[in-house]
Amino acid sequence: MTIEQLIAALRSRKISSTEITKAYLDRIEEFDSEIHSYITVDSKGALEAAHIADERLKKGEARSLEGVPMGIKDIFVTEGLKTTAGSKILHNWIPAYEGTPTRKLREAGAVFLGKLNMDEFAMGSSTENSYFGPSRNPWDTDRIPGGSSGGSAAAVAARLCAGTLGTDTGGSIRQPASVCGIVGIKPTYGRVSRYGVIAFASSLDQVGPMTRSVRDAAILLRCIAGHDPMDSTSIPKPVPDYLAAIKPDLKGMKIGVPKEYFIEGTQPETAEAVKAAIGVLKNLGAEIDDISLPHTEYAIATYYIIAPAEASSNLARYDGVKYGYRKDEGDGLIELYKASRSEGFGDEVQRRIMIGTYVLSAGYYDAYYRKAMQARTLIRRDFERAFEKVDAIVTPTSPTTAFKIGERTADPLQMYLSDIFTVPCNLAGLPGMSVPCGFDNAGLPIGLQILAPALAEETIFHVSGAYESATDWHLRQPPL
Ligand code: GLN
């Protein structure tokens, strides 16, 4: 059942939250050794929350997500529940407080089954950078489920939770959603509070739902979005009813197709599936226009200066003193820092800290960081110009379907290119969604990316909802 169907079944008391929670826990027990989507399973906490939900359902006091079993990416700070960010440096950290997005879900009655695997500090595109080992793609367990929210995408695709929250700094919701055949939306920067979300690159990070249907994503986004006094970058605007934005056709909608997103190196089946999807949008009444986003080619280079720069600053707090992993052989403070950080952080995180420190250092700041900020402005302006002419933009989400585990680990640049189509949206602060739009010859899912102007999530739901109703890609299930 989708979240929407589950809510209806729980309300009509066809099923209890305890029954469905137990069913999910059994399924996790049976299949998660294969998929490895969970870092922590909280059976006790989940059954307690399900019991409370059942009491409220009985009394007719159900809240919007009462009794719905969810998984949560392990980057969200959850009170009393271990939160690792996929890192050794936090491998045993039990937070004393709850972040805002998960607090909102809990206050809506959601049941948390546990915490989902991810690339360490959300740096990666495959979950292979997790200290706890990689997750596997349910469509082919020799392949990656994408990243960094790979555990989240795999869990939703494998029906190991009804839905989940991910985070997206350069594609970490959309790319795993694409390669696992599910729906994932990165909202406008500031639409969802980042309070209690372990920071990677603060000017790019954004929280969003990962679900089996567009309607489920609309339900979850409405619950978590909104202003939060604990996050000064959250936007003080009312949250619309995203479900109401979904309409059956696209009459009057102008959709742009940027030529820079159909480039050499893209898997032919991916390009074909996206072109076929554009045909469906046209049949639904949309006007399709060719557009150009001329600075797209600088997006990856720009991102890999800005994101590591911010990460190097955000990760300075893990010093082996305040909390987290500590290695102290009694050789003084500097040695304690060095040993704790060298052993606590994995290779990719250390690589990013070094790049970030380098581009921010006095002699290089102008050449790298300032230049990157200028390029970021040009990328943002490309979108502003395009959105003077069109309401939404569609592209492939990822240049290829899921690659094999181990295939790109030796070559970080090759790995970074996985996000070539998702990164520009973060640099511009815009909302973007990936929806299933086909399968390649090996039976692996392909995703369609839909982008819109800032705070135009309703346009994204309108387009994706109409597309989903006209197709059945999202109904296919992996052969577990
Ligand atoms: N894969 C990109 C990176 O490694 C994006 C990750 C993300 O969005 N968190 O930085």
pLDDT of residue 164: 98
pLDDT tier for residue 129 given thresholds of 50, 70 and 90: very high
Q: Which atom of ligand 1 is nearest to the CA of 125?
A: 1
Q: Indicate which residue of 37, 126, 135, 148 is catalytic.
A: 148
The band of 371, judged by pLDDT with boundaries at 50, 70 and 90, is very high
Question: Ligand 1 center to residue 142 CA distance, Å?
Answer: 21
Q: What is the pLDDT of residues 239-267, one digit of tens each?
A: 999 999 999 999 999 999 999 999 888 99
Ligand 1 atom closest to the CA of 149, numbered from 1: 9
Per-residue pLDDT, 388: 98
Backbone angles phi, psi at 392, to 5 degrees: -150, 165
The token pair at 238 is 């009312």
pLDDT at res. 414: 85
Residues 6 or more apart whose CB falls under 8 angstroms from that of 369 comprise 305, 306, 309, 359, 360
Question: Tens digits of per-residue pLDDT, 139-164?
Answer: 999 999 999 999 999 999 999 999 99
Q: What tens digit of pLDDT does each residue of 448-479 get?
A: 999 999 999 999 999 999 999 999 999 999 98
Cα(7)–Cα(66) distance, integer angstroms? 7
Which residue out of 165, 169, 397, 427 has the highest number of ligand 1 atoms within 8 Å of its CB and is therefore the one to mutate? 169
Question: pLDDT at position 264, please?
Answer: 87
The pLDDT-based confidence of 345 (bands split at 50, 70, 90) is very high
Report H helices in 36-149: 43-58, 100-107
> Catalytic pick from 16, 17, 73, 104?
73
Q: Which is the closest atom of ligand 1 to the Cα of 171?
A: 8
- Distance (angstroms) between ligand 1 centre and the Cα of 77 equals 19
CA of 172 to the centre of ligand 1 (A): 5
User: What pLDDT, on the 0 to 100 scale, is given for residue 319?
Assistant: 94
For residue 90, the model assigns a pLDDT of 98
Q: Which of 17, 130, 149, 172 is catalytic?
A: 172
Tell which atom from ligand 1 comes closest to the C-alpha of 200: 9
CA distance 57 to 66: 7
> What pLDDT score was predicted for residue 265?
87
- Calculate how far, in angstroms, residue 52's C-alpha sits from the geometric centre of ligand 1: 37
pLDDT digits 0-9 by tens, 311-332 = 999 999 999 998 889 999 999 9
Average pLDDT over residues 265-277: 96
Residue 328 CA to ligand 1 centre (angstroms): 31
Asked if pLDDT for residue 1 goes beyond 90, the answer is yes
Active-site residue flag, 322 = no
Closest ligand 1 atom to 168 CA? 8
Answer positive or negative: Cα dihedral of 15, 21, 26, 27. positive
Q: Does residue 43 carry a pLDDT above 90?
A: yes
Q: Report whether 435 contacts 462 (CB < 8 A).
A: no
Q: At what angle do helices 3-11 and 214-224 cross, to 10 degrees?
A: 70
Confirm whether 148 is a catalytic residue.
yes
Mean pLDDT of the chain: 97
Give percent of the chain above pLDDT 90: 96
Which residue shows structure tokens 């929250």?
A: 165
Separation between Cα atoms, residue 394 and residue 257, nearest integer Å: 6
Which residues have any ligand 1 atom within 6 Å of their CB? 122-125, 148, 168-172, 200, 307, 419
Confidence of residue 233 (pLDDT cuts 50, 70, 90): very high
262 C-alpha to ligand 1 centroid (Å) = 21
Q: Residue 228 and residue 104: Cα distance in Å, rounded?
A: 11
Q: How far apart are CA 200 and CA 307, in angstroms?
A: 8
Q: Report which of 467, 376, 437 is spatially closest to residue 177, judged by C-alpha positions.
A: 437
196 pLDDT band (50/70/90 cuts)? very high
pLDDT beyond 90 at 295: yes
Question: Given ligand 1 and candidates 125, 189, 206, which is best to mutate, with the most ligand atoms within 8 Å of its CB?
Answer: 125
pLDDT at residue 322, rounded to an integer = 86
Residue whose CB lies within 8 A of the most ligand 1 atoms, among 197, 419, 420, 423, for a mutation test: 419
DSSP category for residue 183: E
| Residue 172 among the catalytic residues | yes
pLDDT over 90 at 210, yes or no? yes
Residue from 119, 126, 204, 415 whose mutation best tests the ligand 1 pocket (most atoms within 8 A of CB): 119
